[in-house]
């Protein structure tokens, strides 16, 4: 159970890394399509990396046993002791699952609401789109191939702008991105960054639709006025790509922003050092493995002792190698019913042996706890009498055996990775209350000069309403905030250089580890 919580913590840490990389590095760039795939790949990378580990195996020599008359243990059952205390992991897991189910049911309810809305409505198929013109007072939106709108609320030119926008959403399957983001919110609901992540995905999809829709529209200003008109209508389903988004002014700013320089794509690569550091610190398993040894005991009563030792961490390929090695010295070993827990530790195994003289023995483990070290030992005394014993290392210790355990050399210390100085960042200014657009519709008759004059006067008043001191102060504060945020870019450059130094130290550390393992082998041979 603990493994599940460790996995969730690791996955959420990676999600946080990807979101912060997006927020500080590429959010302001106009690489909207690249940002889309960066954000999506970040989610899937976050759930996959914690599932894979890099194993570093440290070989140590099995203990040398000097003893006679070792017992053969048959059919030993290891009973599991049940802890009757409160299992808080189980309680937390139940709470986590219940909240996730509630959020999944909410998504299901939204899907049902959508299909109920378009049920019995006239659908005009214009491949690859399905146009649904409804009477309900709801904001225009798209959901996969369906584009839903109320044509009576907008003029022909406004409706054309809206449909161009929604067709981009539908054609590029943006609804799938929204669903993926919402599913991740149901799985990692306890992480505040995952909700910001979903918001960033939806906002970037709007940038993509605006950028591509404006290419098919001659009057850029009319498109922006359409954005302002629909901002007053908040009726929409959260699973859909709605034409309305709360950060409407930011969308307008992005529409008028110059394209980012292509050389700025290098910023995406800055997330790689953070991923490398994550793998080094959390996804490397160091396994101490005991190796089968063949040696001659110099004591007066023993001529030769050969043995193998299996621990809870012994890998399958090592077990097979040991079986072949024992077969070469006349002991046939068979094993079955091998089971491992989520950490890869052996919890159950059945072992049986048979030597050349026909003597047999067996050992059985069954339970949920990892096994204790197992020793299979062949002893040939001075009179060429052979004895094979199978048992736990702890039980053999209780027979007053003399153990000779070599002292391994001190392993090298791994380097410490650099830490970013992204602290005490400035807070963005609080936005003012933006003016409400006039409830006015453009005249249908282009020759009605009086109506057009009245319409233009109201729109002019609305544009003047944006020139208040409060809004100007907000824009100045935003410029100051952006300059303060630019001050953190040198920190990222310095961090990248520190990561390069760290990688060099890690290469040196790996070389020291190889030398360390060679010293262990050498000490065992001696």
According to the model, what pLDDT value does residue 74 have?
43
The helix (H) or strand (E) run that includes residue 515 is helix 489-525
pLDDT at 488: 66
Residue 34 is predicted with a pLDDT of: 92
- pLDDT, residue 80, reads 43
Strands 284-291 and 54-61: parallel
Q: Tokens standing for 455?
A: 């319409």
**CA-based nearest residue to 232, from 474, 494, 462:** 462
pLDDT tens by residue, the chain, 526 residues: 678 888 999 999 999 999 999 999 988 888 899 999 999 999 999 999 999 888 877 666 555 444 444 444 444 444 444 445 567 778 888 999 999 999 999 999 999 999 999 888 888 988 889 999 998 888 888 999 999 998 888 888 888 888 989 999 999 999 999 999 999 999 999 999 999 999 999 999 988 988 888 887 777 778 877 777 766 555 555 555 554 445 676 777 777 777 888 888 888 898 999 999 998 888 888 776 555 444 434 344 445 778 788 888 888 888 888 888 888 888 889 998 888 888 888 988 989 888 887 888 888 888 788 888 888 888 877 677 788 888 776 665 554 344 344 444 555 565 565 555 555 666 666 766 766 767 767 777 777 778 878 877 887 787 777 677 777 777 787 777 777 777 766 766 776 777 777 777 777 777 777 776 676 666 555 5
Q: How far apart are CA 382 and CA 325, in angstroms?
A: 23
Say what the pLDDT of residue 238 is: 59
Residue pair 171/128 in contact (Cβ under 8 Å)? The answer is yes
Which pLDDT score, from 0 to 100, does residue 512 have?
76
DSSP 326-386: HHHTTEEEEEEEEEE-TTS-EEEEEEEEEETT--EEEEEE-SSSPPPPEEEEEEEETT--E
- The predicted pLDDT at position 39 comes to 95
CB 173 within 8 A of CB 144: yes
Helix ranges (DSSP H) in 214-247: 220-230
């Amino acid at each position: 159970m603990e493994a599940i919580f460790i996995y969730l913590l690791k996955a959420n840490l990676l999600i946080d890394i990807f979101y912060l990389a997006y927020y500080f590095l590429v959010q302001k760039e106009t690489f909207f399509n690249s940002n889309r795939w960066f954000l999506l790949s970040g989610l899937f990378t976050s759930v996959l990396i914690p599932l894979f580990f890099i194993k570093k195996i440290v070989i140590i020599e099995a203990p040398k046993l000097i003893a006679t008359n070792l017992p053969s243990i048959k059919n030993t059952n290891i009973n599991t002791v049940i802890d009757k205390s409160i299992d808080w992991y189980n309680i937390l897991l139940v709470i986590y699952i219940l909240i996730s189910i509630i959020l999944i049911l909410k998504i299901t309810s939204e899907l049902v609401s959508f299909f109920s809305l378009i049920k019995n409505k006239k659908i005009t198929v214009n491949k690859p789109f399905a146009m649904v013109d409804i009477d309900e007072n709801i904001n225009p939106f798209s959901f996969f191939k369906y584009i839903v709108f109320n044509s009576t609320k907008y003029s022909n030119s406004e409706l054309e702008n809206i449909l161009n926008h929604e067709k981009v959403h539908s054609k590029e399957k943006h609804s799938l991105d929204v669903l993926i983001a919402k599913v991740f919110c149901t799985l990692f609901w306890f992480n505040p960054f995952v909700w910001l992540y979903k918001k960033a995905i939806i906002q970037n999809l709007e940038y993509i639709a605006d950028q591509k829709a404006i290419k098919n529209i001659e009057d850029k200003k009319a498109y922006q006025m359409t954005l302002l008109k629909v901002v007053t209508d908040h009726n929409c389903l959260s699973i859909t790509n709605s034409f309305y988004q709360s950060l409407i002014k930011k969308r307008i700013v992005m529409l008028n922003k110059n394209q980012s320089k292509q050389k700025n794509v290098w910023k995406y690569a800055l997330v790689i050092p953070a991923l490398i550091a994550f793998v080094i610190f959390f996804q490397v398993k160091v396994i101490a493995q005991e190796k089968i040894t063949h040696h001659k005991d110099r004591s007066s009563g023993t001529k030769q002792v050969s043995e193998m030792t299996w621990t809870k961490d012994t890998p399958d390929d090592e077990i097979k190698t040991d079986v072949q090695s024992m077969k070469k010295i006349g002991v046939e070993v068979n094993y079955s019913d091998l089971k491992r827990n989520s950490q890869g530790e052996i919890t159950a195994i059945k072992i049986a042996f048979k030597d050349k003289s026909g003597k047999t023995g067996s050992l059985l483990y069954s339970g949920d706890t990892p096994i204790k070290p197992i020793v299979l030992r062949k002893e040939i005394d001075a009179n060429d009498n052979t004895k094979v014993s199978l048992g736990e290392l702890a039980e053999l210790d209780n027979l007053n055996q003399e153990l000779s355990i070599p002292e391994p050399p001190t392993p090298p210390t791994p380097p410490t990775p650099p830490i970013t100085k992204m602290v005490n960042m400035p807070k963005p200014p609080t936005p003012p209350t933006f003016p409400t657009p006039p409830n006015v519709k453009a005249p249908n008759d282009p020759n009605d000069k009086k109506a057009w004059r009245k319409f233009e006067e109201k729109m002019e008043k609305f544009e003047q309403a944006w020139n208040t001191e409060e809004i100007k102060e907000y824009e100045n504060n935003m410029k100051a905030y952006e300059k303060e945020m630019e001050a953190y870019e040198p920190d990222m450059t310095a961090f990248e250089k520190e990561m390069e130094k760290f990688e060099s130290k890690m290469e040196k550390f790996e070389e020291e580890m190889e030398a360390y393992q060679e010293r262990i082998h050498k000490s065992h041979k001696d």
